[in-house]
Structure 1
Amino acid sequence: MSRRGTYDLNVNHQLRNLSSITERENEEEFTVTWKRWLVLAIVSLLNMSVAMIWLCFSPVAYKAVSYYGTSLIVINTLSLIFMIVAIPMGFIVMWVMEKYGLRVCILLCGWFGCIGSLLRICSTIEGLSDDERLVFVFIGQIIAALGSPFGLYTPAKLAGYWFPESQRTIANTIAASSNPVGVILVGLISPLFMFEDGYYHMQLMLIVYAAPITVGAILASIFITSDGPQHPPSYGGTVKKTEKIWGGFKEILRNSMFMLLAICLGTGIGLYASFATLLEQVLCPWGYTDQMAGVSASVLTASGIVGAIIISTVVDKTKKFTEALKSVYFLTALGVILLSFTHYIYMGYGIVGEVALIGFFAFTIYPVGAEIAAECTYPIGTGLSTGIIQLSGQLQSVVLILVLSVIGQPMEPEQVIENNSQCHHNSTIDEQTGGDDNTYDMRISVWVCAGLMTFTSLILTIFFRPKYLRMEAEKEHNNAMYMRRKSHIPGLANGYVNGGLDAEDGTDSITSEKDGSISTIPEEYHITPC
């Protein structure tokens, strides 16, 4: 081999050394720890437990009416408390998260839920009057509701602080999906406490629901000792606590791309909440039983979790956040349109397939959207962006549920009989509770949902063009680190790339790619010629 060829190899050797040095230093500065999965598991347990506390009475509403000696409206209010409390608490949670950090929010979620669930158990103490029972259960429900937003707002910040760039979306998805998992479980667990003799064991049910939130609160207190790991998993994962919170809030409100995203994600959240709440009322007038409607509601959530995990995994690898969001939004809109024109035609379990299609794509809207929000608002804390999205979703949920309920049309008795309506198949319960005997045609409500989803999808597709500020900052940081380390190797710092032996005096040299100048390679970097 010639001397000139040997020096070409010498420069390549230095570049390989530079790459290995950079990798080693990066590993020292940015570290991914196993503890991230433990933190994710604890937060997921808390969010799942809060969801079960929220809806535990819904599957056994009539049993709760009998046990507490009250009306169905009062029992439904126990669930509505969470949505009402979440709106004003959202601003407090955003302030606490940015001022005091992720750990404080996780602990508040756990212990508020624990204390609230224990107070609910006190409502089952023997000797209390019905009014005293209601006081205990309402106070416990309100306290648990106060802690709920602290958990719901954590997924994006947890993913950013604890997980590397390649795992953020899937971590966000797992944490965000734990709440719907609780919704599924509560529908399966609550009915189990109806014994064969017809006695419903309310105390045992409330103890079972208090157990996981208590365990989660204890685990969080023991194992979550900081907002993030000692060494962040990436440049964008550096833990920051914002002192000028309202300044960041104002800046976010001036970010047109984020505000468009917050409105669109809020619409998606609101429509999901509406479907989960009203699905039974949508299907039962057309011959679908309560059991079929319940299965459909569970499938809506279960298929959504599966879809969110699959799609988020792909998005983590491709980084096509905007494309993925627009695609799943469009496909969800198509699913709702299909349902709007077929739900009043009895199809048996075929309706479950349609609902599963909607859920598969709809669930991905929030976790992917939350990642985009973190990107386009960087370096402002993710607690603020997540909080505004959640507030948008809560407000739109309340408005949509009220509006969609009001525009339902009472059906004529002939229509009820003709369509084999299953809404009032248990006349004894209706008489005992003084329920509304009317059956409502919800077709207009579903058409409104389809139109709103389609309109929002078009707006998102046409106007949403975000910038990935967090990814750009990480790229600039990595480039800066590379150039700094490159400067430690003589010659390479000035962009010298072609090496060789000077023909006249035999000295070793490399040629600059910038200006063609020739520089001598220091002797300590020589490689003995072959």
Structure 2
Amino acid sequence: MAGPAGDWPEAAAATSARSVLGGYRTYARRWVFLLVISLLSYSNATLWLSFAPVADRIARHFLLSTEQINWLSLVYLVVSIPSGVVAIWVLDSVGLRWATTLGAFLNFSGSVVRSIPCMAIGTQDPFVLLLGGQSLCALAQTLVIFSPAKLAAFVWLGASVCSPVWGGQGSSVDGGPACLPELTHVPVHLANPLGILVANLLSPILVKTEEDIPLMLGTYILPAGLAFLLATACLWESVPPTPPSAGAAQSTSLSFLAGMKLVSAPCALTRNKAYIILAVCFGGGIGIFSSFSALLEQVLCVNGYSSEFAGLCGAFFITFGVLGAVALGLYVDRTKHLTEAMKIGLCLTSLAFVAFAVVSQLQGQTVALAAICSLLGFFGFSVAPVAMELAVECSFPVGEGAAAGLVFVLGQAEGVLIMVLLTSLTVRHAEPSVSTCRDGQGPLDWKVPMLLMAGLCVLFSCLLVLLFHTPYRRLQVEADASPSIQEDERPATAATLDHVPYLAATP
């Protein structure tokens, strides 16, 4: 993503003068940006997963197959592959304000379109409208995913270099204790997992019978509509009039297009072995976790577990994932053991997936399944911010937008392949079962798909452990440059103040 230095082109030259003049400041209206992006991220996540916890009831109500219901979640991954790269460019080109407003409009429009089959009597093909609405929300997702990083990357939030969990620009470079993140960073990065958690819990609560489906669809419109209203009425500019910190003024972050131009350079991503291994392995992990979230209810209902219990397992998955991400983020900030933490976390995640593949095929194992889903989230989610940080470290000086964005896009592509493969390997049960699935069809056998999912997770973990090695290039550059930065931030003399103009960014 574009560095703030591009928005304040001469800010680095004015650093010392600003320190004396008080030119660095954070603005109260940053809370508006924080609220809008957090609400938008939350709403988009609920819309993605709202159908999955009650897939059987949705299929029966709209006379759809299980495969069609799966596409309502899978379309998010498919759409984000071509639109992910475009979204990063849009954020760089039109700015945070207009990109956020566009994302809010697409998100709200999608939530309304997918509700039309319940509002319009005699709809001929409800699946087209449901899929069309989800596709609009999927277009918004790519803008939503990258907006928090743009917001936190010194543009509005005045923190120094902090943990990647909270959206900072990397770990501290002096080997000492890392700084604590500004509290304003926390909500925007918890909004997306919170939305997934709410969808897992709320959808089964709202949809007790098929007649409750319109209530569920209408409920999820409300936060989407509120986010669009706030984005349209309350966002006035993409960047504040002055940088919030010296770090913002001196950021060397490249824009997405500038980063992509390095593809033909010696440090090209296509020739960067460490980056390719990380992108393929962690991208596969993203695909596995996306498939797990979308298919959890279908896997569990076959062996007699209710939709409410599946939603509870999904909630544990997210809750413990956030806790794990916070804990591991603070740990790697202090120790700089990014690679070690990533490898150990993926290995533990693989063990948890193997346990889930076995226990999910047994009946009456509610406590064990809840514990396994909690461990899956704790180990799996915790490595996500570390992996994105490693993607930036091993690909430097390619811009953060290009490095992290391409990993995300590759992960979505792998998610499509994995989910299609898993669902294609299911077969219908021939004998009576204890299934609680209510899609009007025979229960599915998920033994082979679940074992395959666990096997893929083990494969990706082994490849990463054996083949991934990288120096921390960006941290080294920042460490080498830190003395000059400290020198630049010395109090300015009166003579200096006479020659440094006061600069303001344009919206």
Query: What is the TM-score when the length of structure 1 is the normalising length?
Result: 0.73
User: CA 1:316–1:228 in 2, change beyond 3 Å: closer, same or farther?
Assistant: farther
User: CA 1:75–1:306 in 2, change beyond 3 Å: closer, same or farther?
Assistant: same
User: CA 1:202–1:91 in 2, change beyond 3 Å: closer, same or farther?
Assistant: same
Q: Is contact 1:114–1:214 with CA below 8 Å preserved after alignment?
A: yes
Partner residue of 2:38 out of 44, 63, 67: 44
Cα distance, 1:44 vs. partner? 2.6
User: CA 1:39–1:477 in 2, change beyond 3 Å: closer, same or farther?
Assistant: farther
CA distance in 1, matches of 2:491, 2:219: 62
- The residue type equivalent to 1:472 in the other structure is Q
CA distance in 1, matches of 2:112, 2:429: 44
CA distance in 2, matches of 1:457, 1:193: 38
- Residue in 1 that maps onto 2:216: 205
Deviation string, structure 1 residues 247-304 (Cα, Å, up to 9, x no partner): 1455333333222221121111112122223334444455544443332222222211
Q: Is contact 2:71–2:131 with CA below 8 Å preserved after alignment?
A: no
Deviation string, structure 1 residues 430-467 (Cα, Å, up to 9, x no partner): 5xx4x2x254151x433333333233223323332333
Q: Which segment drifts farther, 330-339 or 132-141?
A: 132-141
Cα distance, 1:212 vs. partner? 1.2
- Residue in 2 that maps onto 1:15: none
Cα distance, 1:26 vs. partner? 9.7
- Residue in 1 that maps onto 2:196: 183
CA distance in 2, matches of 1:287, 1:109: 39
CA distance in 2, matches of 1:55, 1:117: 12
Q: Is contact 1:113–1:213 with CA below 8 Å preserved after alignment?
A: yes
- Residue in 2 that maps onto 1:309: 326
Deviation string, structure 1 residues 352-404 (Cα, Å, up to 9, x no partner): 11221121110122222112223333443322222211112111111112222
Q: Is contact 2:165–2:329 with CA below 8 Å preserved after alignment?
A: yes
Q: Is contact 2:260–2:398 with CA below 8 Å preserved after alignment?
A: no
- Residue in 2 that maps onto 1:160: 153
Question: Partner of 1:364: helix, strand, or coil?
Answer: helix
Q: Which segment drifts farther, 377-386 or 105-114?
A: 377-386
Cα distance, 1:311 vs. partner? 2.0
- Residue in 2 that maps onto 1:264: 281
Unaligned segments of structure 1, at least 5 residues: 1-20, 490-530
Cα distance, 1:29 vs. partner? 7.8
CA distance in 2, matches of 1:27, 1:369: 39
Counterparts of 1:111-190 in structure 2 under 5 Å? 111-126=105-120, 128-131=121-124, 136-161=129-154, 162=157, 163-171=159-167, 175=188, 177-190=190-203
- Residue in 1 that maps onto 2:5: none
- The residue type equivalent to 2:261 in the other structure is G
Cα distance, 1:140 vs. partner? 3.0
- Residue in 2 that maps onto 1:375: 393
Partner residue of 1:385 out of 403, 411, 425: 403
- Residue in 1 that maps onto 2:418: 400
User: CA 1:265–1:353 in 2, change beyond 3 Å: closer, same or farther?
Assistant: same
User: CA 1:245–1:131 in 2, change beyond 3 Å: closer, same or farther?
Assistant: farther
Question: Partner of 2:238: helix, strand, or coil?
Answer: coil
Cα distance, 1:111 vs. partner? 1.6
Deviation string, structure 1 residues 14-57 (Cα, Å, up to 9, x no partner): xxxxxxx9999499687666766654443232122012222333
- The residue type equivalent to 2:287 in the other structure is G
Cα distance, 1:150 vs. partner? 1.1
Identity of paired residues, percent?
28
Question: Partner of 2:124: helix, strand, or coil?
Answer: helix
User: CA 1:33–1:273 in 2, change beyond 3 Å: closer, same or farther?
Assistant: same
User: CA 1:211–1:458 in 2, change beyond 3 Å: closer, same or farther?
Assistant: same
User: CA 1:139–1:278 in 2, change beyond 3 Å: closer, same or farther?
Assistant: closer
Q: Is contact 1:156–1:383 with CA below 8 Å preserved after alignment?
A: no
CA distance in 1, matches of 2:202, 2:490: 60
- The residue type equivalent to 2:319 in the other structure is A
User: CA 1:228–1:362 in 2, change beyond 3 Å: closer, same or farther?
Assistant: farther
Counterparts of 1:19-168 in structure 2 under 5 Å? 25=19, 39-65=33-59, 68=62, 73-126=67-120, 128-131=121-124, 136-161=129-154, 162=157, 163-168=159-164
- Residue in 2 that maps onto 1:225: 237
Deviation string, structure 1 residues 127-170 (Cα, Å, up to 9, x no partner): x4212765554443322222111112334444333442124432
CA distance in 2, matches of 1:311, 1:228: 32
Q: Is contact 1:157–1:382 with CA below 8 Å preserved after alignment?
A: no
User: CA 1:100–1:24 in 2, change beyond 3 Å: closer, same or farther?
Assistant: closer
Larger radius of gyration: 1
- Residue in 2 that maps onto 1:493: none
CA distance in 2, matches of 1:314, 1:284: 38
CA distance in 1, matches of 2:489, 2:51: 61
Cα distance, 1:199 vs. partner? 7.0
- Residue in 2 that maps onto 1:359: 377
Counterparts of 1:324-473 in structure 2 under 5 Å? 324-346=341-363, 347-408=365-426, 413=431, 421-423=433-435, 425=436, 429=438, 433=440, 435=441, 437-442=442-447, 444-473=448-477
CA distance in 2, matches of 1:324, 1:367: 11
- Residue in 1 that maps onto 2:183: none
CA distance in 1, matches of 2:96, 2:330: 24
Q: Which segment drifts farther, 353-362 or 148-157?
A: 148-157
Q: Is contact 1:193–1:200 with CA below 8 Å preserved after alignment?
A: no
Cα distance, 1:69 vs. partner? 5.8
- The residue type equivalent to 1:440 in the other structure is D
CA distance in 1, matches of 2:322, 2:489: 44
Q: Which has the higher contact order (CA 8 A, sep 6+)?
A: 2
CA distance in 2, matches of 1:471, 1:367: 16
Q: Is contact 1:265–1:365 with CA below 8 Å preserved after alignment?
A: no
Q: Is contact 2:47–2:111 with CA below 8 Å preserved after alignment?
A: yes
User: CA 1:131–1:259 in 2, change beyond 3 Å: closer, same or farther?
Assistant: same
Query: What is the TM-score when the length of structure 2 is the normalising length?
Result: 0.76
- Is the counterpart of residue 292 in structure 1 residue 296 in structure 2? no
Q: How many residues align?
A: 452
